Amino acid sequence: MMMRLIVAASCLLVLAGCQNLGVNPWERDVLAREAMIPGEADGLDDAFDDHIYFSKEGSSGGRGFGGGGCGCN
Amino acid sequence: MQLKKQNQSMACAGSVAKTLALASCALLGVPALAADAPTDQWKVDGTMLLYSETDRVSAIEPVIKASRTFENESKLDLKLTVDSLTGNSHNGAAVLGAPQTFTSPSGKDVYQVNAGDVPLDDSFKDTRVAVSAQYSWLLNRNLRATSGLNFSNEYDFFSVGANAGLSLDLNQKNTTLSFLLGLESDTIEPVGGVPDPLTLQSDGLRLDSSESRTVTDALLGWTQVMNRRWIMQLNYNVSAASGYMTDPYKVVTLIDELTGLPLEAEDLGGANIGPGDGQVYELRPDSRTKHALYWENRYSRENDDVIAVGYRFMTDDWGISSHTLDLKYRWQLENGWFVQPHVRYYTQTEADFWYESLTEVDYNAIVASNDYASGDYRLGKLTDTTVGVKFGRELANGRRWDTRLEFMQQSGDTDAADVSAVIGQVGYRFYW
């Protein structure tokens, strides 16, 4: 119970801290570039890489998940 | 002047909402539209991947993805993947100083591997066809829902999955919190039937014709605009799989504990198919829970070059822990040209039930205690390094072409883990 309270309090603190981060709506020019958007910047590369390394390593996930998997023998 | 500033501000606010919607979609693994995408056209990405390992597997993978954003800011993404693989695949056996004999996946044919060679099955050939559709829509100004379906079919494998999620914008859309839940059902139909695990391959004992498993995924995401040039994303992904996780085409070699050479099946009460045929089908646990923490940072320099740093930590209840570091630097050149070097480093610990080979005593102990054993190098200690470069050019009307060339090197505690691969890719984008 105490652990849950600590986790919840930490999350609230982090979100409260986030209020001091970021930019005004008219300062988004750089962030609007595709190269600055996680998951979108490299087109289909991420999906290709996730599939290659999923089938060659013992790890997967994190960036996203799913997508049909494979037998990958 | 004031009017001009106001108009500029409104235009930027529009692109902000679009950008963050994109960021949240990307976070969910959902294909998203480019920030400048027209709303009355389909964005089409056609890409061909060529993957070739030295003396092992080769793959050709064409993919076409079409995305469209509608007037109400809902989005539809469609993707078709065809994956054609052929070549030699490691069959799980150890690399030893004596010849070894195996049966083909169907059990009908026999093949031998010379002393000192990595045991490879040369009958590996498969074609995968996968389709997916993802739709996302606004529930209100700050809340977006998404839902999707995907199917994947191979000769011996079929998968169907569905997902649903929400993303919430906070702090003037500088913070996005996301949650996505996914369910997947897989059916595995091994060639020749499901092998009886931990029995001699030479005996060819089979159980059912098919097996199944389910995978449940949950992903919590936090995307944060740090400042005008820096955006960060932190994901936590838990994945729980239940069912048949064993590779039906992999074996573990039984060796003599004194000589280190393969045992003979006939000496263990099995059928004799040739020298070094003391090979047993592998067995993995029927459940697996993985936890992954992924952290990505993107920083744009004053000259518009972008530095991207990704790090993932993964751990599971099979005993595997891994670290992945991914670095990219995008040089933005004149006339839309760009060059992007890429380095990826990966390291993992071995699964609790990974064995390069087993002595008869170890094997009997595993069978007696209903334990597991696999010789698949992908579950052993592993270190991978990938280096490469991508370059391309942005053209008029949103068109773009790019190409990349990368080299991957794997190494581990067994010679079977020494894999070199070349990754080549060409892509073209247009609006239709």
Instruction: With a cut of 80, say whether residue B17 has pLDDT above it.
Output: no
Q: Which of B5-14, B94-103, B383-392 shows the lowest per-residue confidence on average (mean pLDDT)?
A: B5-14
Q: Are B186 and B214 in contact (CB under 8 A)?
A: yes
Nearest CB partner across the interface for B51, out of A36, A52, A60: A52
- Let me know: does B312 contact B344? Beta carbons within 8 Å: no
- Residue B364's contacts (CB-CB under 8 Å, 6 or more residues apart) are none
pLDDT digits (tens, 9 = 90+) for B334-393: 999 999 999 999 999 999 999 999 999 999 999 999 999 999 999 999 999 999 999 999
Q: A64: which chain B residues are within 8 Å (Cβ-Cβ)?
A: 27-29, 219, 237
pLDDT above 80: residue B185: yes
**Contact with chain B for residue A7, Cβ under 8 A:** no
Chain A residues with CB under 8 Å of B61 CB are 48, 51
Q: Nearest CA of chain A to the CA of B88: how many Å?
A: 10
User: Is 90 exceeded by the pLDDT of residue B272?
Assistant: yes
Please choose, from the candidates B249, B327, B323, B252, the residue with its C-alpha nearest in 3D space to the C-alpha of residue B293. Answer: B323
Q: Which is it for the CA torsion B346, B350, B351, B353, positive or negative?
A: positive
pLDDT at site B263: 97
- Residues of chain A neighbouring B49 (CB-CB closer than 8 A): 48
Q: How far is A9 from chain B (nearest CA, A)?
A: 16
Strands (E), B301-368: 306-316, 321-332, 337-348, 358-359
pLDDT at residue B172, as a whole number: 92
- pLDDT reading at A4 higher than 90: no
Contacts of A34 in chain B (CB under 8 A): 34-36
Q: What percent of chain A has pLDDT over 70?
A: 64
Give the nearest chain A residue to B350 (CA atoms): A58
Distance separating alpha carbons of residues B168 and B144, to the nearest angstrom: 7
Reported as a pLDDT band with limits 50, 70 and 90, residue A72 is low
Q: Does A17 touch chain B (CB under 8 A)?
A: no
Residue B254 reports pLDDT greater than 70? yes
Asked if A58 has any chain B CB less than 8 Å from its own CB, the reply is yes
Which of A14, A19, A26, A37 is the mutation pick for testing B, counting most B CBs within 10 A?
A: A37
What rounded mean pLDDT belongs to chain B? 91
Indicate the pLDDT class of residue B181, thresholds 50, 70 and 90.
very high
Contacts of residue B171, defined as CB under 8 A and 6 or more positions apart, other chains included, come to A18, A19, A21, A22
Tokens, residue B37: 């995408």
- The mean pLDDT of B55-67, rounded to a whole number, is 96
Q: How far apart are the CA of A1 and the nearest CA of chain B, in angstroms?
A: 21
Per-residue CA distances from B383 to A46, B102, B252, B408 (Å): 20, 28, 22, 11
The reply to whether A39 touches chain B by the CB within 8 Å rule is yes
Which run of H or of E encompasses B186? strand B175-188
Residue-wise pLDDT tens digits, B292-315: 999 999 999 999 999 999 999 999
Residue A20's pLDDT is what? 74
Is the distance from CB of B22 to CB of B52 less than 8 angstroms?
no
Of B49, B186, B384, the CB nearest to A48: B49
A71 to chain B: which residues are within 8 Å by CB?
Answer: 126, 154, 156-157, 188
Q: pLDDT: is B38 or B290 the higher one?
A: B290
Which band of pLDDT confidence, cut at 50, 70 and 90, is reported for residue A24? Answer: very high
Domains (range + CATH), chain B = 2-431 (2.40.160.40)
pLDDT band for position A13 (cuts 50, 70, 90): low
- pLDDT for B125: 87
Distance from CA of B255 to the nearest CA of A (A): 24
Dig out the tokens for B384 from the structure: 């991978």
Tell me the C-alpha to C-alpha distance, in Å, between residue B178 and each of B129, B223, B367.
29, 8, 45
